[in-house]
Amino acid sequence: MMTYLRIPSSFFLTLSSPTCSRPARTLPKTLSSHLSPPPSPLPITTSCGSCITEITSKSLNFVLSGALTLGLFFGEIGVAEAKVGVNKPQLLPKEFSTVIDVAGFLSDGQERRLAEEIAALEKDTGFKLRVLAQNYPETPGLAIKDFWQVDDRTIVFVADPTFGNILNFNVGASVDLDIPRSFWSRLAGKYGNIFYWKEKGEDASIEAAVMAISNCLREPVGPNNCSEVN
């Protein structure tokens, strides 16, 4: 089971639907529930008039806010309401960084390599990957949203082993249009499961996930893109 970050209510996930035949349904929970009480299903309402499916993405307030379950995660989507908000800007670095490790999972060299990969990815694709390694409740929480200027082209990757699966994601709407949702659940299943990171280390899970995301985002968009987690 995975989790998502909960962005304040202004964030919406809008998915274009080519036909109006898809009935309204409730998406099951997936991705790892990393920041507290289990997520409840998020209903999706389909409007046949515009053929637009809107999902209220109550996500980034989560991983970002702390006692939460990192609300939304894509593969299938589940949402959990934050019970206790966390906002600790004092845990943020003094200077901007795309990789923030408040849990001490990564060496300085690993942080540097990940930051370089993320910078190259953003230059080549325009998508912004941001990595936060934490052990709840030691998390910057909501402060991360403004620090990173999270928008619909941002992927917030929170590595937190608190509840088992270490990989948690919040995916912006523009990213969601290009990347199959199943990719995120497969990624968490491969590199985030407790057996993997217990054996290889939290740092190995984080590095493997970043490289898999980078490879996926660099693939041409099409029916088979990101079909494998490399």
What CATH number corresponds to the domain at position 177? 3.10.310.50
pLDDT of 95 > 90? The answer is: yes
| Angle, in degrees to the nearest 10, between helices 108-125 and 202-218 | 10
**What's the pLDDT at 161?**
94
What stretches of 126-201 show up as alpha helix (H) in DSSP? 143-148, 173-178, 182-187, 194-200
pLDDT, average across residues 5-19: 34
**47 — pLDDT class (breaks 50, 70, 90):** very low
Q: Is residue 196 part of a domain?
A: yes
Q: Is residue 68 part of a domain?
A: yes
Q: Is residue 66 part of a domain?
A: yes
Nearest to 209 by CA among 155, 173, 141, 143: 155
Number of domains in the chain: 1
**What's the pLDDT at 85?**
62
**222 — pLDDT class (breaks 50, 70, 90):** confident
pLDDT, average across residues 93-103: 96
Q: Is residue 4 part of a domain?
A: no
Q: Is residue 52 part of a domain?
A: yes
**What's the pLDDT at 3?**
43
Tokens of 157: 């990757």
pLDDT of 32 > 90? The answer is: no
Report yes or no: 79 and 60 within 8 Å, Cβ to Cβ.
Answer: no
**What's the pLDDT at 224?**
86
**What's the pLDDT at 7?**
38
Q: Is residue 214 part of a domain?
A: yes
Residue, of 118 and 11, whose pLDDT is higher: 118
Q: Is residue 131 part of a domain?
A: yes
**110 — pLDDT class (breaks 50, 70, 90):** very high
Q: Is residue 43 part of a domain?
A: yes
Residue, of 158 and 230, whose pLDDT is higher: 158
**What's the pLDDT at 25?**
39
Beta strands in the chain (DSSP E): 12-16, 25-27, 40-47, 52-56, 78-79, 99-101, 128-133, 154-159, 167-171
Domain that holds residue 108: 12-16+26-218
pLDDT of 179 > 90? The answer is: yes
**What's the pLDDT at 139?**
94
